[in-house]
Every structure is written in structure tokens, then in C-alpha cells.
Chains A and B, each alone.
Chain A
Amino acid sequence: MVAIEVDHVTRIYQKYSARHRFKTFKSALLKGDLFHALKPDELVTALDNVSFKVDKGTTFGVIGENGSGKSTLLKIIAGITKPTSGRIKVNGKVSALIELGAGFHPEISGRENIYINGIMLGLSKKEIQEKFADIVRFAELEDFIDAPVKTYSSGMYMRLGFSIAINVNPDILLVDEVLAVGDASFVPKCLDRIDDFRRREKTILFVSHDLATVERICDRVAWLKNGRVMTIGDPKRVIDAYLQDVAEKQERKFEERQQEVQVQESYEEEERENRWGKREVEIKQVHLKNHQGEEKHVFSPEEGMVVEMDVEAYSPIKDFVFGIGIFNARGIQVYGTNTDLEDFSPQVIDGPGKVICQIKQLNLINGTYYLDVAVHKKDGYPYDYHRHLYSFLVSSRHKDEGIVRLPHQWQFSDNIKLKSPKFKSSSGK
């Protein structure tokens, strides 16, 4: 059975300028053509011909960058906004976690707010009375429930909002990024409740930037870009496609930024600071590429990186060492090596040439990194040293911390029960 059917939905937002407002107000007053006068002067397409179906009992994820239309989509399914064209069909009672505690009044107590918020979300007074204890317990607000809501911390506020919304006991739950603001101990509790929902064969539409959670809990995922559905399907596949797109975009931005930097400060000046040596052997150019040979600035740990140096020696030189060093944004050296440390014995270098260092796996955590490249004598006398002149980005869905990402695997004995991250709910299927 289909729980949510979105059929060729388009939503166009209208923007009115201040001057336009004045004009329309005037014409509305003078001619009395109010509705006609309220024609906007700019149209923004938030959703463009979006279609998909969500089966009952499944969890459907929606990902995309800010402004891609995710929230608009959710509001349309919740019925808060109407589509400009297209159709929405929703089977079952919907509860939307769009902004928690949106209807709270700061001056009155948590208790009274539970009642009013509950009624707003479609509960009857009796239902609220029955669920009242649950709501308070889940929100962990037993001691504060009679205090005015304005005295609550933002975490308490959010907990109460979530607790009410989840206790509405809907058939379809719409979740919009609300978990992003919760405190560390409450978010897992919320996710538990959402998991519980899934087990009970309820439908969830989950909008989030937290790709790891999306991949963990969703059966299918849609990726929205500029109001259009790019792909729908298996979470891993869609998320990968999305990540690749984001990486490409970052890549372009990175390039633009680097070009700007180069235009702003004269390259020479930067060089004096960050490049030294008499250049008996010169590193003329450095390229960062992937293993397919495409020049890039954003890398995922799995794809690895290739550092390619165009070098030239202006006379035959017998004592030389090539080296690279990788530094993170805090200036800590993450890795460094050179041909001498790895026991290459230099013979001779003369004229132009290429030095390539292939890094099979770039096992680093997400972030910006700087690259040093150098050619020097064995005793350290520099021919040409480039300090932090090149930078690249590591971007992945991993969320680990520290400096490097050590390749690893978890194993547990049978009496320790954990759900593996790729585990999909198999109940009833």
C-alpha cells in the first residue's frame, strides 16, 4: 500500500518587492482589483515536477543541499503549503516534526503548552490526558512541567516539542532536520523512538543532512537538487551520487578560490615566504590528480591521490632527495616521507623530468590539508622547498575523529549484540 504519493508536484514561490507592494496597494485601492494586483514580480521554483511514492511501513529519506526544496516538499506533504500544480495523496494521520515547539507560548507552563500543542497537532483533550505522563517522562521534564516555558533551556524546549509530536502517534511521521539541535544524550533517544516507529510498520519521511543516519535508517532515498529529483533508490547508491556531486561542486569552488588568491596577492610575494632554495633543481609545477589522471582538489579516502611534480635540473646533479609532507588545518604534520628515508639512492638528475608519488588510499579524516613538496640534498640543503603552497580537501561520509583514519574492522563475540550500520529492518518483508 502506498502511504505518500507525490504526483508531478511543482511549487513556485512568489517574491514581491517593496516598490511593487506600494504599487499594488495603490492600484488595489484605486481600481479595487486586489487579487489581480497581487501578481508577483519574481518567481522562484522551489520544487520542479517532483514525483515519487512511499510505501506504507517504509522509511524514505530526502537529501540535498540547503535550498534544494527539501523543506518545501515536507511542508507540502504536511499540508502546510499547497503545491502550485500536481497532486499529493497521503493515506493516514500525519505528524510533522518541522520545528519542535513551534506553538509554545513562553509565558505559560509546560503543562498547559502540552495541551495546546497537542490539540494543534490533532489530539483530543482526552488523548492528551492519557499520554501526558508519557510525554513528560520522555522529555525528562518531571520537575519543570509547571514552570513557564520561557524558563526552559533550548534543549528542554526541544525535548518537550519532540515528545509531544512523537506521542501524537501518527501513521506517517515527517522529520525535518530537527534532531540537529538536540543535546548529545537526547538525540539517540529520539532516534530510538524513530526506530521503534519503523518496527511498528509506520511510514517515515526523513529529511536530513546527516547522511550516515539517512543511510542507516532509510529504505529508499531521494536526492533533490534545485527542486528536481536527481535520483531515487537504494540509500548507498543515492548518497554516493550526492556526495560525488557535492565534491565536484567543492572542487569548482576550491579552484575559484585558489584563482582568486593568486590574483589577489602576487604569486612572487607568497613565494618568498613559502618557497626557498637556490633552485639548482626546480619544482616547476605540482598537480594533484586522482588515479584516473584527472586533476582534482577534493578527494575521498578510498580513491587516493597522486602527487605529480614537473622538475628540472639545470646541470647534472648527483645528490638529491624528493619529499612530500601533508599538514592538516591545525598545522600538524599528518605524514611525511622522502626518497632518502625510503632508501632510494640518487644517481643523477639532468634536464626536465617528472616525479610521481602515488598514494593508494588517502586515510585521512575530513578536512583541509596542505601539501609541502621539496627537493634537497641528503644533508638537508634545499634546492627548492615549497611550503604549504598546495592544498586539498578530504571529504567522505565517515565521521571519525583524530588525525588519520586507520583502516579497521569491528568484531564482536556472539553475546554482544549490535546492529551493524548497513543493517536494514527486515521485519515483515
Chain B
Amino acid sequence: MGVKAMIKLLENLKTIYRYRGLIQSLVGRELKARYRGTVLGFLWSFINPLLLMIIYTIVFGFIIGPRDPAFNNNPILYALFLFCGVLPWTWFSSSSLEAANVLMIQGNLIKKVLFPAEVLPIVVVTSNFIHFLFGLPILFGAKALISCFVPNAPGFSIYLVFLPYVILVQYIFTLGLGLFLSALTVHFRDIKDILANLLTFWFFASPIIYPMTFGPIKKSVILRTFLNLNPITHIMVGYQNTVYFGEMIRWKRLSVTLLVAIIIFIVGYHVFDKLRDSFPEEV
């Protein structure tokens, strides 16, 4: 990619900035429309992660039980750890799945109204991001409760200030992938189904239900290398470090991940831009 491509990218970013009002309204519309007609309305944004948290506590905490010494054999601590990873993972996986579909679902818009199509995947990633933010108070509330009542539970630490950095890395990564997927699915509809399966695999190939310090991973170089090559690994570890353990983030690894995220964003956007003209007739 040469200078020309970079200039094009900057122009595109400027256009997106011009359309920020539209993105804002569309995200608002998504959020409003999602719970329209439900009795509990916006409360669902909190109830969903809360219920998820309870299910994980029961299944992984009590039934399967924590296997790693890091959790002192305490199911509640393990559930909190799980929640730290599942919450951002839900953001990532829902965004990817929805982004892969969004150009087809909103095809009418692309065909009939003049506006930059990338607004649509951006709206998908952003509205899921807002949902993720709704889950954070539940996460922090649970952590506060646990650190009060469970002995030896890790408390809040100053390193929480790095949480926005982790979120930023994930946002760029998710958006880059979302742009790539949305553009490609227009031409290859199979991606939708491939992606659904791939995400299941990806979930277990990331340290979400197990910590990186888990015995088998520590022992196996192959497993460790494999996990370290997965950008999601470093993002998840970032959440676990800042929120659960209250430790310093791994600057170097996370910054490399940021670089990867930016590259994926640039490549994703480039592909999107190349295929853009074919959208109105293919969706």
C-alpha cells in the first residue's frame, strides 16, 4: 500500500468524521430499537450480563470448579475472572457476526440513499461497544462485593486507569475486522456461517475461561506460542490484568497488539474501499 492508499484512508476518515452525527443517531436508534416493546427496556442491558454472570458462576464455578490455583479453589472468584473475559468477548463476537450481515440487512439504504457504507459496520461495532459499557457497572459492582466478602480477593487498583487503553485496542481491532468481514460477505455469503463456527473455536483458543497461568499452558511451548499469536489473547489478558488481578498491563505485548489492530484496520478498510462500488448492485 502506497502513499496514495494512505491519503485515501485519511480522506475516508475525514468523511466518517463528517458523518459522526449520523453514526450517533444510528447507534441511538439501534439501542432504542433493540429493547423497544420490552417491559424492562434498557434494564435488559444490565440484566443480560448479570444473568450471564450467574450462569457462569454456577456452571464453571460450582459444577466444573476452578482448576487453577490462582482462584484459591473459590468458585466465586473464578466466576468473576470469567466475567472479565466474557463481557469483552461478547462485544467482539456480536460485532463480528452482525458486521458480516449488516450490509445485506441494510442493503436498501446502500442502494437508495447516498451515504458512506462504512457507517453501517461502525454503527454495529459502536452499539455493541455501548452494550459492553453497560455491562461494566455490573462487573465492577460484583468485584466490589467480592472484594468485601471474600478473603484474599484481589481489590481495585490504580492500574484500572489502563482499562481505556485495552478498550481502545479492542475497538480498533474489532472495527478493522468488522469492515473486512462486512465487505467480503457481500460477495461471499458463506463467510457468515464460517464465521459463526470460527468464533466458537476462537473463544476457546483465547484465555477467557482459563488464565494464561494455567498449568498445561505454562508447560507447553506450542500452546503458549499459539495463544500469543492470537491478538484477542493480549486484549483479554489486558482486561484480566487491569480489572481482575489489579496488575500492570503488559505494555509491550499490548502495544504490539495495537499495532496489529491498526494494520488490520488499514487492510480491512482498504478492502472495504476497493469493494465499495460493488455494494449497491450486490447486496
When C-beta atoms are compared, the residue in chain A nearest to B112 turns out to be A102
- Provide the bound-state CA to CA distance between A96 and B114, in Å: 9
Contact B188 A21 (CB under 8 A): yes
Contact B112 A116 (CB under 8 A): no
Contact B280 A102 (CB under 8 A): no
B109 CB contact (under 8 Å) in A16, A94, A102, A119 = A102
Contact A108 B109 (CB under 8 A): no
Residues of A near B37 (CB, < 8 A) are 107
Contact A102 B36 (CB under 8 A): no
Residues of A near B113 (CB, < 8 A) are 80, 96, 98, 102-103, 120-121
Contact B187 A75 (CB under 8 A): no
B105, chain A: closest CB distance, angstroms: 11
A392 proximal to B (CB < 8 A): no
Contact A125 B21 (CB under 8 A): yes
- Considering only residues 34-84 of chain A, those with a C-beta below 8 Å from chain B are 34-35, 38, 75, 78-82
B277 proximal to A (CB < 8 A): yes
A195 proximal to B (CB < 8 A): no
Contact B109 A103 (CB under 8 A): yes
Residues of B near A121 (CB, < 8 A) are 113
Contact B281 A119 (CB under 8 A): no
- Considering only residues 225-283 of chain B, those with a C-beta below 8 Å from chain A are 271, 274-275, 277-278, 280-282
B72 proximal to A (CB < 8 A): no
Contact A108 B33 (CB under 8 A): yes
- Provide the bound-state CA to CA distance between A79 and B280, in Å: 11
Given contacts A80-B113, A102-B108, A121-B113, are A25 and B280 in contact (CB under 8 A)?
Answer: no
Interface size class of B (residues with CB under 8 A): 20 to 34
- Provide the bound-state CA to CA distance between A98 and B113, in Å: 8
Interface size class of A (residues with CB under 8 A): 20 to 34
- Provide the bound-state CA to CA distance between A124 and B21, in Å: 8
Main secondary structure of the interface of A (DSSP, over half): mixed
Given contacts A108-B33, A116-B25, A119-B25, are A99 and B112 in contact (CB under 8 A)?
Answer: yes
Contact A119 B21 (CB under 8 A): yes
Contact B36 A79 (CB under 8 A): no
A78 CB contact (under 8 Å) in B22, B114, B188 = B114
B32 proximal to A (CB < 8 A): yes
Contact B21 A81 (CB under 8 A): no
- Considering only residues 232-273 of chain A, those with a C-beta below 8 Å from chain B are none
B29 proximal to A (CB < 8 A): yes
- Provide the bound-state CA to CA distance between A340 and B36, in Å: 78
What are 16 A-B pairs at a CB distance below 8 A?
A: A16-B282, A35-B274, A75-B111, A75-B280, A78-B114, A81-B280, A96-B113, A103-B108, A112-B29, A115-B25, A116-B29, A119-B22, A119-B25, A120-B115, A121-B113, A148-B36
Among all A-B residue pairs, the 3 with the closest Cβ atoms: A102-B112, A107-B33, A99-B112
Given A103-B108, A107-B36, A120-B109, output 15 extra A-B contacts at Cβ < 8 Å: A24-B187, A25-B190, A35-B274, A81-B280, A94-B114, A98-B113, A103-B112, A103-B113, A105-B29, A107-B32, A108-B32, A116-B26, A119-B22, A121-B113, A124-B21
